[in-house]
């Protein structure tokens, strides 16, 4: 098992290195520099390049960057928050984005799952229709329109929730942005749950389970839901990380000091260091989640780890074997 994890970690680190290199090259291809301002002439720009070492060859910059990264140093911001260490920017902003994103995913996944189950079990009834309508609206309308509609009705008109994010009212002011963000997730999950559940409910093993006399929650959760969860998790995992970039606009609207709005500003002002750092974090999160998903696969669907049946070592061991088995 240790060997397997080690292997995965090495692969992950390698992946991240490749990603940083690609980002570096993309940044260099990007026209314009962080120091394109009407007020700056060429001499000043050259001085700034020299100051930040941007006049060095790309490969030197890359090696230096990776070297610094090993010390947890992301470098400094060039222009959106001049000379501020990026680690400091991220330290204050990431928790906010993550907590709002987490609330959105939790809310979206929960409601989505419930709606999907409702639609599947009450197939072709009014409940199915209602759930379908909600999920269709969720995928039909961009999140910034939801944000606008929510802040207009609940913030401006009824004054139930604050329209702007504030640390003083952390929970209350996170409600509207979280809901706006969760709509897309919720709709996707609801739709997917419905379609997967319908398939599962029609399957022979459900018939078998039912005929064995299993019923109620045990039937739904142990047999039906468990089988439907694989594709759902596959959909959910990228959605979680997408929330970070998906939240860009919503963060802007609700004035949330998160990483999403930081990334947009950084891209628009060519702040390479910030773009690379945030992309790196995004990538790391993504790779972590994908690892988790692979493990969850094994837990939920025993068929995937059905490689060999030597019985020893428990679930984790089986997971490793599952990979081998899958290749056979």
Partner 1 sequence: MKRRWIACVLAGAMTLGLFGCGSSAVNGTGTESSGSVVTGTGTSSGTDSSVVASDEDLNVMMETPVESLDPQQATDGTSFEVIADYTDGLMQMDENGEPVKALAESYDVSDDGLTYTFKIRDDANWSNGDPVTAQDFVFAWQRAVDPSVASEYAYMLSDIGQVKNAADIIAGTKDKSELGVTAVDDKTMKVELNVPVPYFLSLMYFPTFYPVNEKFFESCKDTFGTSPETTLSDGAFILDDYEPAATSFHLKKNPDYYDAGRIKLAGIQYQVIQDSQQALMSYQNGELDTTMVNGDQVDSVKDDPEFKAVGAGYLWYLSPNISAVPELANQNIRLAMTMAIDRDSIVNDVLKDGSEATYTAVPLDFATGPDGKYFSEDQTKFKDVCSYDADKAAEYWKKGLEELGESSMTINMLVDADDAPQKVAQVLQEQLQNALPGLTINITVEPKKQRVQDMQDGNFQLGLTRWGPDYDDPMTYLGMWVTNNSNNYGLWSDKDYDAIIDKCTTGDLVSDTQGRWDAMYDAEKIVMDQAVIFPLYTQCNAMMVKSNVKGIEYHPVALNRVYKDCVKGAS
Partner 2 sequence: MSNANAVLTAQAAAYIPKDEDFRLKNSGEELGRDTNFAGQAYWKEVIVRFFRKKSAAVGLILILLITLLAVVGPMISGYTYSAQNLSQKNLAPRIPVIENTGVFDGSETISTTTGSKKTNGYFDKKLTNVYYWFGSDNYGRDIFTRTWMGTRVSLIIAVAAAVIDMVIGMSYGLISGYFGGRVDMVMQRILEVCNGIPRLVIVTLLLLVLKPGMVTIIFALMLTEWIGMSRIARAEMLKLKEQEFVLASRTLGAGNFFIIFKEILPNIIGPIITQVMFSIPTAIFTEAFLSFVGLGIPVPQCSLGSLISEGYNSFTTHPYQIVAPIIVMALLMLSFNLVGDGLREALDPKLKEM
Element (H, E) at 261: helix 259-268
Give the nearest distance from C-beta 89 to partner 1 in angstroms. 6
Q: Binding of partner 1 at residue 257 (CB under 8 A)? A: yes
Among 79, 143, 185, 283, binds partner 1 (CB under 8 A): 79
Q: Output the six-digit token pair for 160.
A: 């139930």
Provide the β-strand partners of residue 76.
85
Q: Binding of partner 1 at residue 269 (CB under 8 A)? A: yes
Nearer to partner 1, 178 or 227 (CB): 178
Give the nearest distance from C-beta 266 to partner 1 in angstroms. 10
- Separation CA 300–CA 288 (nearest Å): 18
The three-class DSSP label of residue 110 is helix
Question: Which does residue 203 bind out of partner 1, partner 2, none, counting CB within 5 to 8 angstroms by kind?
Answer: partner 2
Q: Write out the residues near partner 2 by the rule CB under 8 A.
A: 11, 14-16, 18-19, 22-23, 26-27, 29-32, 132, 136-137, 139-142, 144-145, 148, 152, 184, 188, 191-192, 195-196, 199, 202-203, 230-231, 234-235, 238, 242, 244-245, 248-249, 263-264, 267-268, 275, 278-279, 282-283, 286-287, 290, 297, 301, 303-304, 306, 323-324, 326-328
Task: Quote the DSSP letter at residue 269.
Answer: T
> Environment class of residue 204 by beta-carbon count within 10 Å: exposed (0-12), middle (13-18) or buried (19+)?
exposed
Interaction pattern, residues 128-147, with partner 1; x per rule: CB under 8 A: xx--xx--xx--xx------
Element (H, E) at 126: helix 126-140
Give, as ranges, the residues between 10 and 39 that touch partner 1 (CB under 8 A).
Answer: 31-39
Q: Output the six-digit token pair for 211.
A: 């005929």
Q: Binding of partner 1 at residue 81 (CB under 8 A)? A: yes
Provide the β-strand partners of residue 85.
76
Give the nearest distance from C-beta 284 to partner 2 in angstroms. 8
Q: Binding of partner 1 at residue 97 (CB under 8 A)? A: no
Among 3, 42, 309, 328, binds partner 1 (CB under 8 A): 42
Contact of 221 with 281, CB cutoff 8 Å: no
Among 69, 94, 164, 290, binds partner 1 (CB under 8 A): 164
- Angle between helix 226-253 and 86-121 (nearest 10): 130
- As a three-state string, the secondary structure of 168-235 is HHHHHHHHHHHHHHHHHHHHHHHHHHHHHHHHHHCCHHHHHHHHCCCCHHHHHHHHHHHHHHHHHHHH
Q: Name the residues that contact partner 1, by CB under 8 A.
A: 31-44, 47-48, 50-51, 77, 79-85, 88-89, 92, 124-126, 128-129, 132-133, 136-137, 140-141, 148-149, 151-153, 155-157, 159, 162-167, 252-257, 261-262, 265, 268-270
């Amino acid at each position: 098992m240790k060997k397997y994890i080690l292997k995965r970690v090495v692969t992950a680190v390698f992946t991240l290195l490749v990603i940083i290199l690609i980002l570096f090259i993309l940044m260099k291809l990007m026209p314009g520099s962080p120091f394109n301002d009407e007020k700056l002439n060429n001499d000043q720009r050259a001085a700034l390049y020299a100051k930040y070492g941007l006049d060095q060859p790309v490969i030197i910059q890359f090696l230096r960057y990776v070297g610094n990264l090993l010390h947890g140093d992301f470098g400094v911001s060039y222009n959106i928050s001049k000379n501020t260490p990026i680690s400091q920017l991220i330290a204050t902003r990431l928790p906010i984005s993550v907590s709002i994103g987490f609330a959105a995913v939790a809310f979206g996944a929960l409601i989505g799952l419930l709606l999907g189950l409702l639609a599947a079990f009450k197939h072709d009834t009014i409940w199915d229709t209602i759930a379908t309508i909600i999920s269709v609206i969720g995928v039909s309308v961009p999140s910034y329109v939801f944000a606008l509609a929510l802040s207009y009705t609940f913030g401006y008109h009824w004054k139930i929730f604050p329209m702007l994010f504030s640390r003083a009212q952390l929970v209350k002011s996170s409600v509207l942005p979280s809901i706006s963000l969760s709509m897309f997730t919720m709709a996707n999950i609801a739709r997917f749950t419905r379609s997967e559940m319908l398939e599962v409910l029609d399957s022979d093993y459900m018939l078998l389970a039912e005929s064995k006399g299993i019923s109620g929650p045990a039937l739904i959760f142990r047999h039906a839901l468990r089988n439907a969860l694989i594709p759902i998790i596959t959909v959910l995992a990228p959605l979680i990380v997408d929330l970070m970039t998906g939240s860009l606009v919503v963060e802007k609207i609700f004035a949330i000091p998160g990483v999403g709005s930081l990334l947009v500003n950084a891209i628009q002002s060519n702040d390479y260091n910030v773009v690379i750092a945030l992309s790196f974090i995004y990538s790391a999160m993504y790779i972590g989640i994908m690892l988790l998903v692979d493990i969850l696969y094994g837990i939920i669907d025993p068929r995937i780890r059905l490689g060999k049946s030597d019985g020893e070592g428990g679930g984790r061991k089986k997971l490793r074997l599952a990979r081998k088995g899958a290749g056979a």
